[in-house]
Chain A
């Protein structure tokens, strides 16, 4: 099985750190599972204009394929203007309609304050449901204050919940028949 951790931020580092934490936990729980971080900052994507997805080239094509080929996803989003970033939405726009069908999806979100906890519930989840992903109901929302100056997560409760998210992603993927005895 392969899990892609998608960090949907092109500016800060907190979203990436949070996604990486979940990936580390997955590796720690089951060494056979392959994990890969896909940081949107590392890719220059084109804007979706309705073209057939195979007509995109370069980074855009690479990212679409990585997501399509994954068995499960950890999606990390920062909050921009009370929703997900346009760059992340553009990536969803680019995906073929069945790209994440039946894939277990765990969500983490980072934000400056607690006010936007519901952004995932109201803005991100509907899109992932439309794309037919098996979205875990519980997500982890990490406020700025849970990081130290070195951008490490220091809150015990948050660390516990990120580990739980990793366990749940593995567990649900197993039930979906995605985890074999060799991982």
Chain B
């Protein structure tokens, strides 16, 4: 059975490192037979986000996609030692339990290793408050990523190992969850 995975990219940047990694993860998941929907914060209406228009059709669509997903991957650049404000404007207008029962793989990219803990102290608590089931997650530094390499932007062997391991763990949980439901 196919399971829908939603990938949410929280970078406001046109040419984004974190998004290039998310697209790469998406391609790995498609290879494994999952269906993947990619949502980029940049494709949503800026007015809807800034003004918090939670009743808008876009927000309703995003909510439905996330609610029906078997697993969600949320990515953000580190901005000022935390997630991007733009990503938060979307999460602010989603229902408080939008990630209920959903395994969530958090991902962050940052300019240096100094803000590794933004993943633990900023992004994960936010996803947990939306009732997501956080996995360990992945933090990558800019020097480990070459966003122009579309097929695989991760140019650092150890980082790639860490990332593929986390993705494997994510798919394992989704698959076992499905088996349990079928039993």
- A-side residues, CB < 8 A to B, are 10-11, 44-50, 80-93, 95, 122-123, 126-127, 130-131
Contacts and interface: CB of A to CB of B under 8 A. Distances in A.
B80 A83 contact: no
A91 B50 CA distance: 11
B12 A86 contact: no
Nearest to B118: A126
Contact of A81 (B12, B51, B82, B126): B126
B80 A93 contact: yes
B82 A50 contact: no
Given A82-B125, A83-B88, A87-B89, A49 B12 contact: yes
B50 A47 contact: yes
Contact of A47 (B12, B51, B91): B12
Given A11-B52, A131-B80, A82 B129 contact: yes
A81 to B, nearest CB: 5
Given A47-B46, A50-B13, A87-B50, 9 more contacts: A10-B50, A47-B50, A48-B86, A82-B129, A83-B88, A86-B91, A89-B80, A89-B85, A93-B85
5 contacts: A87-B52, A93-B80, A126-B121, A127-B81, A130-B80
Interface in B63-103: 79-92, 96
Contact of A127 (B12, B13, B80, B130): B80
Nearest to B94: A81
Contacts of B83: 89
B96 A48 contact: no
B7 interface: no
Nearest to B130: A81
Contacts of A84: 88
A50 B85 CA distance: 12
B101 to A, nearest CB: 18
Interface in B1-29: 12-14
A122 to B, nearest CB: 7
A86 B49 contact: yes
B30 interface: no
Contacts of A126: 81-82, 121-122
Given A47-B50, A50-B12, A50-B13, A85 B80 contact: no
A92 B85 contact: yes
B92 A44 contact: no
B20 to A, nearest CB: 15
A84 B12 CA distance: 18
A48 B92 CA distance: 17
B108 to A, nearest CB: 14
Contacts of A93: 79-80, 84-86
- Nearest first, the 4 closest Cβ-Cβ pairs linking A and B are A90-B85, A86-B88, A86-B89, A89-B85
B126 A10 contact: no
Q: Which of A45, A85, A86, A122 has most chain B Cβ within 10 Å?
A: A86
Contacts of B92: 80-81, 85-86
A83 B81 contact: no
Interface in B146-167: none
Contacts of A131: 80
Q: Which of B13, B89, B90, B130 has most chain A Cβ within 10 Å?
A: B89
Contacts of B79: 48, 89, 93
